[in-house]
Structure 1
Amino acid sequence: MRISELAAASDVPVATIKFYLRTGLLHDGRQTAPRQAEYNDGHLARLRLIRALLGAGGLSVAAAGEVLRQLDHPPESGHDLLGAAHHALDAGAQPKQEQQQTDHPRADALLEAWGWQIDPEDHNARRGLERALQGLEDGGFEPPAGFLDMYAAAMRELATREVEQVPVNPPDAMRYVVLGTVLVEPLLLALRRLAQQDASRRMFSAPGPPAPGVG
Structure 2
Amino acid sequence: MRLAELSRRSKIPTATIKYYLREGLLPPGRRVTATQAEYDDAHLQRLRLVRALIQVGGVPVASAREVLTALEDDSLDHNSRLGTAVWALPHGPEPSGDEVFQERAGRTVDALLARLGWDSAREYAAESPAHRMLVTAVAALARLGYPCAVEDLAPYARAGHQLAVTDLDLIERYDSADEQLEAAVALTVLYEPVLLALRRIAQAQESHRRYGQRSTEE
Same fold (TM over 0.5): yes
Structure 2 match to 1:159: 164
Structure 2 match to 1:210: none
Structure 2 match to 1:212: none
Supply the AA of the counterpart residue of 2:6: L
Structure 2: 5+ residue runs without aligned partners?
Answer: 96-102, 210-218
With normalisation by structure 1, the TM-score equals: 0.68
Please report how far the alpha carbon of residue 144 of structure 1 lies from its aligned counterpart in structure 2 after TM superposition. Answer: 7.0
CA distance in 1: counterparts of 2:182 and 2:116, whole angstroms: 27
Relative distance call for 1:166 and 1:142 in structure 2 (3 A) is same
Q: Secondary structure at the match of 2:146?
A: coil
Counting matched residue pairs gives 191
1:115 to 111, 114, 117: 117
CA distance in 2: counterparts of 1:122 and 1:174, whole angstroms: 26
Contact (CA 8 Å) 2:63, 2:88: kept in 1 or not?
A: yes
Relative distance call for 1:66 and 1:111 in structure 2 (3 A) is same
1:68 partnered with 2:68: yes
Supply the AA of the counterpart residue of 2:159: A
Relative distance call for 1:127 and 1:174 in structure 2 (3 A) is farther
- Residue identity over aligned pairs, in percent, reads 34
Structure 2 match to 1:142: 146
Structure 1: 5+ residue runs without aligned partners?
Answer: 206-215
Please report how far the alpha carbon of residue 160 of structure 1 lies from its aligned counterpart in structure 2 after TM superposition. Answer: 4.8
Relative distance call for 1:92 and 1:23 in structure 2 (3 A) is farther
Q: 5 Å matches for 1:195-210?
A: 195-202=198-205, 203-204=207-208
Q: 5 Å matches for 1:183-198?
A: 183-198=186-201
Please report how far the alpha carbon of residue 14 of structure 1 lies from its aligned counterpart in structure 2 after TM superposition. Answer: 2.2
With normalisation by structure 2, the TM-score equals: 0.67
Please report how far the alpha carbon of residue 28 of structure 1 lies from its aligned counterpart in structure 2 after TM superposition. Answer: 0.6
Please report how far the alpha carbon of residue 37 of structure 1 lies from its aligned counterpart in structure 2 after TM superposition. Answer: 1.3
1:83 partnered with 2:80: yes
Contact (CA 8 Å) 1:67, 1:89: kept in 2 or not?
A: no
Query: Structure 1, residues 156-190: CA drift from partner, whole Å, max 9, x if none?
Result: 234356568886xxx945753x3453222234422
Please report how far the alpha carbon of residue 82 of structure 1 lies from its aligned counterpart in structure 2 after TM superposition. Answer: 2.1
Q: Secondary structure at the match of 1:33?
A: coil
Contact (CA 8 Å) 1:10, 1:48: kept in 2 or not?
A: yes
